[in-house]
Amino acid sequence: MYRMACKDKQTEELCRRPSCVYPDICKNLDTSHDSLIQLYRKARDLPGIKKIMIASGVRYDLAVKSPTYIKELVRHHVGGYLKIAPEHTEDGPLSKMMKPGIGSYDRFKQLFDQAAREAKKEYYLIPYFIAAHPGTTDEDMMNLAIWLKRNNYRADQVQTFLPSPMSLSAAMYYSGVNPLRPVRRGVSEKVNSIKGLRQRRLHKAFLRYHDAENWPMLREALKKMGRADLIGPSKQHLIPSWQPAGTGLKYAENKGQAFTTKGIWAKPKPKPARP
């Protein structure tokens, strides 16, 4: 977003939108990537600089406005993998993060793959997703898992939301209301926060649907959600109905734990009755 700004100073001063890029890219925002492309070129020309690699941080919904920028990025600054953070596929959690819809990611991937083919390079996008963000339902996580499976993504490391100071998400997590909408007694938009350890684990398990350790938990949840049709032997199913030997034992062990933002404690054992 280097040197991107409102086209009109006076409009900017009067503007009350919380973001220039959400819920859509404002028509008054100058989305030209020319300054950024020039900056890359100047940086590459500096004496002593051999290569400048960009591993993450690309605002992909803006990048799709400039196929020239994507070509420049891929040709000169990607070293095999580029991390991108669509964070989710579902509108509920995406709207709480002020993130664009997954369609922007699909478009970026299309342009990225095309630029890599033209440069005769084998480059890959690594999409990052988050579990248990405020405003996420079990169904949202299930739909994300279905999307991941359909697109052949198997995440090794996944992030489960933790409230961090001074963030909008933390305000939602603690208050249970959406500060992106008017906050008034009785009319504030309610946001569900995922605070129970069991549900946090379930959301994370959906992100790692391919891990057999998670299958008992996912099977139980899918049956409760009325989506037992996702359990079965074919590729169209999310998880199988069978369990590899020696896996899935942790689920039963961890059932009694509770989550707080300061740590995880096992539930206190009931005191033995006095004789």
Q: How far is the CB of 23 from ligand SF4 (least distance, A)?
A: 11
* 20 lines the binding site for ligand SF4 (CB under 6 A): yes
Q: How far is the CB of 28 from ligand SF4 (least distance, A)?
A: 4
* Near ligand SF4 by CB under 6 A: residue from 1, 22, 23, 29: 29
Closest among 54, 11, 55, 18 to 36, alpha carbons compared: 54
Residue 78 phi/psi, 5° resolution?
A: -105, 135
* Near ligand SF4 by CB under 6 A: residue from 2, 3, 15, 255: 15
Interface with ligand SF4 in residues 72-111 (CB under 6 A): none
Distance CA 68, CA 80 (A): 19
* 143 lines the binding site for ligand SF4 (CB under 6 A): no
* 11 lines the binding site for ligand SF4 (CB under 6 A): yes
* CB closer to ligand SF4, 22 vs 153: 22
Structure token digits, residue 237: 């199913």
* CB closer to ligand SF4, 29 vs 231: 29
* CB closer to ligand SF4, 6 vs 146: 6
Residues making contact with ligand SF4 (CB under 6 A): 6, 11-12, 15, 17, 20, 26, 28-29
